[in-house]
A and B are shown apart, each in its own frame.
Chain A
């Protein structure tokens, strides 16, 4: 297939699937909490609605950043789709995409001049604790497979079996990242309701539309990467089932846990990350990992 057509199709799939999965996430949370909840399609409708709303600019903003950051956010997740589902390129590029995502989260909060955005920005710096487990998980995948290339990791798993059985604790570290980035997560300190909508508080209309677009693609890409590097070669049905199951698990966790305070959130993430890190090292040195 033509590369550009492939990219376009994959981006559209990522947006639609991500939106519906986030809608499903909300529905699951609502049902666990014994509420009817919005229809599954609601997140998609919200995203589309924002593109047609009037866009306002607070007078306190740093305008090039305030506007540019939303487009950068959308662009980097499109790069994530290209590096992942389209090209099966290096995992390091996706690590880079995630790092830029953190920056954008940080900057969209601070560029508005809002105290809520500012506090969200400071918390984004603290929540950098999630990056180290992600880095460790990627390094362990590399140590076992000998490659960072997603295509080669898939090939490795088709021969040796899914990596979830080889390095389960590394998979758990990656799953922590997915929980952290899921809506209403106990670790979502940057979007704590005490901060209204956190770094998104002062972005309206078209700009918020781009943020929703990016959120949907981000959710799809993170689930895709997790399933691809830990569950081996999957077909479209396998991905669909895997994504629904993970969305269900995170929805259940988020519906039943309150949001942590920033200190507790960071310490919990670091503790789980450290246990998984040293656990995997012990598994490697004791020969449990081949």
Chain B
């Protein structure tokens, strides 16, 4: 299977040895959207979250993100956006797993400075899942490298899938599902979104979903 069949006509490549960064309409769309959101994050201040203060009163509590926390979370969010954008156009399987692991760590970092216990609990649970899933993620890529001798998607897409490649791809899929915290692992992650700081938590959701979308393309390239 080649890039053209999956993501539309090839728009350009950047050859680095046998590793080829490539852009087709599909990759370009994901890349551009991620950079667009990263720009919005860079220029945005967080919202003020309104919550009910006490039972049986009409009062409301305003939860704000303080300046120090804001700077820290904004920095991590921008790095997360750039790492996710890198994962969208890379033509190397190992680079993709590295970007994936980086996104997982940054997702925890973005909410680690908040003071809500439920959010921190959720981040801790997600962190456990992400750590456990880093083994199949990197293990899968290592098995594919060991059985084919390459991590280049351009080369892998032209090779027939051996049983070891299929096994490696399944391991990678498990790793990606856990690292990105989508179903069936999203229950560990949903509470993280209760924290104020809309511009920052959007990148958590965005990076996870886009990594999954890109992973579909990569696994199809490797397997068929």
Which A positions have Cβ atoms within 8 angstroms of B?
Answer: 59-66, 68, 72, 76, 79, 83, 89-90, 92-93, 95-97, 99-100, 102-103, 106-107, 110-115, 118, 121-122, 124-126, 128-129, 131-132, 135, 138-139, 142-143, 146-149, 270
Contact = CB atoms under 8 A, between A and B. Distances in A.
Contact of A131 (B5, B48, B182, B224): B182
Interface string B1-29: 00001111000000000000000111001
Interface of B: 5-8, 24-26, 29-30, 33, 36-37, 40, 43-52, 62, 182-184, 186-187, 189-191, 193-194, 196, 198-199, 201-202, 205-206, 209-210, 212-213, 216-217, 220, 224
Contacts of B25: 83, 89-90, 93
A100 B207 CA distance: 10
Nearest to A143: B224
Q: Looking at A62, A83, A114, which has the most chain B CB atoms within 10 Å of its CB?
A: A62
Contacts, number: 143
A83 B216 CA distance: 18
Contacts of A111: 47, 198-199, 202
A138 B213 CA distance: 11
Main secondary structure of the interface of B (DSSP, over half): helix
A147 B47 CA distance: 44
B49 A113 contact: yes
B209 A102 contact: yes
Contacts of A106: 193, 202, 205
A83 B25 CA distance: 9
B40 A65 contact: yes
Which 7 pairs, one residue from A and one from B, show the smallest C-beta to C-beta distance?
A62-B47, A113-B47, A110-B198, A60-B48, A111-B198, A99-B209, A107-B202
Contact of A72 (B6, B36, B43, B184): B36
B178 to A, nearest CB: 14
Contact of A148 (B6, B44, B187): B6
A264 to B, nearest CB: 14
Given A65-B44, A107-B202, A149 B49 contact: no
A107 B36 CA distance: 14
A62 B46 contact: yes
Given A60-B50, A125-B189, A128-B183, 14 more contacts: A90-B8, A92-B7, A96-B30, A97-B29, A102-B209, A103-B202, A107-B205, A118-B194, A122-B190, A122-B194, A126-B186, A126-B187, A143-B224, A270-B184
